[in-house]
């Protein structure tokens, strides 16, 4: 009987027989050759995801502007592949969303032109603006005090307003950042729109973009809540238009998820794009999207060696030669993990284990009570779907080194 694929499998990351492969290459063999911890990245899948997103928006009758959230994946190999989708500055080109001066300069160094870069940061300092202003990139401002500062430094320029609709959705959680229960650090509330427009006009700023970020890792189950949140954004967008703001783009940010655990399915892009078309299609604006996870996650796996298998007070601990310094996404974003044995990737998961890292902190645990295959010390395991918010977020805590990363531009 044919085994059902894992939700994270695709042409570039798949299991052949029992063995995990990335871009057609055997994962365990690469770990033995290059050592662990080791990320393997199928670059083609990032391009495929970007094109799928762009095409879905086009089928919905929208004019898409797709950008990669650079904080999710900033590797030059990946950026070069995205840069190659279409000529610089063309409507089909995939740009980048940046949130710091360092990211901005990195994007420019990797071939992106100013018109393809959207800067949405928070708490901009004068030093930040010393870098940002000379580049001429478009900035979305998320606080009225920041709008004052930006207006003084760049009067008469175009600017976007990051909006806070007091609504949003996050897969598996109801956190205050997205629930709207209390004030957050991001975005201009509807009650303050008039004040923001007044400040912009005082400095001659042209408000040309309504920007928002209101989702995190959503799949089909979250689309109804996403729909409701976007209704608020559409109302705020209409208010800006009524106030005389010459908008050219509504940018809905990112927050699109990818499937990881059993039972999860890929986001229905046509259903998602249909929601955007219903709310924003009548405005005649470009529709910008800035995903990180959706574009990058499925592209990679993280390989680690099992260095410990031990029973401790009735619990099975599986210890790895990797810790939160190498992959802190599960700790910062509270994401679950799915881990397979690279040479026996479809092995039944009969055991329940605590998966521990090698950092000298008690909570360096990737999970408790995880269903796991029988595993032996010395075997290579793979964390699935680790292409975004991972390798670029490493720390040198405990002076543990970063993981090596292999990027594959072609599949074999």
Any idea where the domains of the chain sit in the sequence?
13-43+298-408, 44-296
Percent helix, strand, coil in the chain, to 5, is: 35, 25, 40
Q: How far apart are CA 106 and CA 277, in angstroms?
A: 33
Please give the average per-residue pLDDT across 351-376, as a whole number: 96
Q: Which tokens hold the place of 71? A: 């904080």
Tokens for 26? Answer: 């055997």
Q: Distances from the Cα of 360 to the Cαs of 303, 323, 365, in angstroms?
A: 20, 9, 11
Mean pLDDT along residues 143-172:
95
Measure the CA–CA gap between 172 and 156, rounded to whole angstroms. Answer: 43
3-state secondary structure 148-159: HHHHHHCCCCEE
Tokens of 348: 């039944």
Predicted local distance difference test score (pLDDT) of residue 88 = 86
> What is the value of pTM for the model shown?
0.95
* C-alpha closest to that of 294 among 87, 118, 119, 46: 46
Averaged over 388-408, what is the pLDDT?
92
Verify cis geometry, omega within 30 degrees of 0, for the bond prior to 356.
Answer: no
How confident is the model over 9-24, as pLDDT tens digits?
999 999 999 999 999 9
Look at residues 288, 341, 390 and name the one whose alpha carbon lies nearest to residue 41: 390
Q: Percent of the chain having pLDDT more than 90?
A: 89
Of residues 202 and 394, the one with the higher pLDDT is: 202
195's CB contacts (< 8 A; 6+ apart) are 144
- How far apart CA 93 and CA 86 sit, in angstroms, is 5
The Cα–Cα gap between 210 and 187 comes to 11
How far, CA to CA in Å, does 403 sit from each of 36, 144, 220, 325? 7, 40, 33, 9
Tokens representing 184 are 């957050």
Measured CA to CA, the distance from residue 172 to residue 49 in angstroms comes to 23
**Reported confidence tier of residue 335, pLDDT bands at 50, 70, 90:** confident
pLDDT of residue 175: 55
pLDDT level of residue 329 (50, 70, 90 thresholds): confident
Once rounded to an integer, what is the mean pLDDT over residues 223-244? Answer: 98
| DSSP H or E segment with residue 234 | helix 223-242
Over the chain, what is the mean pLDDT? 95
126, pLDDT greater than 60: yes
CA pair distance 72, 255, nearest whole angstrom = 11
Check pLDDT > 80 for residue 291.
yes
| Per-residue pLDDT, 356 | 98
Q: Are 69 and 290 in contact (CB under 8 A)?
A: yes
With contact defined as beta carbons under 8 Å apart, do 361 and 377 qualify?
no
Task: List the end-to-end C-alpha distance of the chain, in Å, as a whole number.
Answer: 27
User: How far are the Cα atoms of 126, 142, 145, 158, 211 from residue 150, in angstroms, in the given order?
Assistant: 9, 11, 9, 11, 16
CA distances to 222, 234, 244 from 281, rounded to whole Å, are: 21, 10, 19
pLDDT value of residue 179 = 52
**C-alpha distances in angstroms, 303 versus 14, 239, 357?**
14, 50, 13
When the candidates are 3.20.20.10, 3.40.50.970, 3.30.710.10, 3.30.420.40, the CATH number that belongs to 44-296 is: 3.20.20.10
Torsion from C-alpha of 220, 225, 227, 231, nearest 10 degrees: -170
pLDDT in tens, 172-223: 755 545 556 778 889 999 999 999 999 999 999 999 999 999 999 999 999 9
Q: Any idea which fold 13-43+298-408 has?
A: Lyase, Ornithine Decarboxylase; Chain A, domain 1 (2.40.37)
Per-residue pLDDT band at 328 (split at 50, 70, 90): confident
The token pair that represents 131 in the structure block: 């870098």
State the sign of the Cα–Cα–Cα–Cα dihedral 340, 341, 346, 351.
Answer: negative
Which pLDDT does position 283 carry in this prediction? 98
Structure tokens at 3: 């085994």
The pLDDT assigned to 1 comes to: 45
């Amino acid at each position: 009987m044919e085994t059902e694929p894992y939700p994270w499998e695709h042409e570039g990351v798949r299991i052949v027989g029992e063995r995990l492969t990335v871009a057609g290459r055997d994962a365990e063999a690469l770990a033995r050759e290059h050592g662990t911890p080791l990320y393997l990245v199928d670059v083609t899948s990032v391009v495929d995801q970007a094109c799928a997103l762009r095409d879905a928006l086009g089928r919905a009758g929208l004019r898409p502007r797709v950008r990669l959230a650079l904080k999710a994946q900033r590797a030059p190999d990946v950026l070069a592949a995205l840069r190659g989708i279409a000529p610089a500055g063309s409507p089909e080109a995939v740009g980048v969303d940046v949130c710091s001066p360092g990211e901005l300069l990195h994007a420019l160094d990797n071939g992106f032109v100013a018109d393809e870069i959207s800067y949405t940061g928070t708490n901009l300092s004068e030093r930040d603006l010393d870098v940002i202003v000379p580049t001429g990139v478009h900035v979305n401002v998320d606080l009225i005090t920041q709008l004052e500062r930006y207006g003084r430094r760049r009067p008469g320029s175009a600017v976007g307003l990051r909006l806070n609709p007091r609504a949003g959705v996050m897969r598996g959680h109801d956190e205050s950042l997205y629930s709207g229960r209390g004030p957050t650090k991001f975005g201009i509330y509807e009650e303050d729109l008039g004040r923001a427009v007044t400040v912009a006009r005082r400095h001659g700023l042209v408000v040309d973009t309504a920007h928002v970020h209101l989702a995190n890792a959503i799949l089909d189950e979250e689309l109804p809540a996403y729909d409701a949140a976007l209704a608020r954004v559409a109302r705020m967008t209409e208010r800006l238009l009524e106030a005389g703001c010459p908008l050219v783009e509504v940018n809905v940010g990112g927050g699109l998820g990818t499937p990881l655990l059993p039972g999860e399915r890929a986001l229905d892009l046509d259903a998602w794009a249909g929601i955007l078309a219903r709310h924003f299609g009548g405005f005649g604006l470009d529709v910008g999207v800035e995903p990180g996870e959706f574009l990058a996650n499925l592209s990679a796996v993280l390989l680690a060696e099992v260095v410990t298998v031990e029973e401790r007070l009735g619990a099975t601990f599986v210890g790895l030669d990797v810790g939160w310094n190498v992959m802190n996404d599960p700790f910062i974003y509270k994401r679950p993990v799915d881990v397979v044995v690279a040479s026996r990737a479809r092995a039944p998961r009969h055991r329940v284990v605590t998966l521990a890292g090698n950092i000298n902190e008690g909570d360096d645990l990737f999970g408790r009570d995880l269903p796991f295959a029988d595993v032996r010390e010395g075997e290579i395991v793979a964390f699935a779907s680790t292409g975004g918010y991972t390798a670029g977020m490493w720390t040198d805590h405990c002076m543990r080194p970063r993981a090596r990363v292999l990027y594959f531009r072609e599949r074999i």
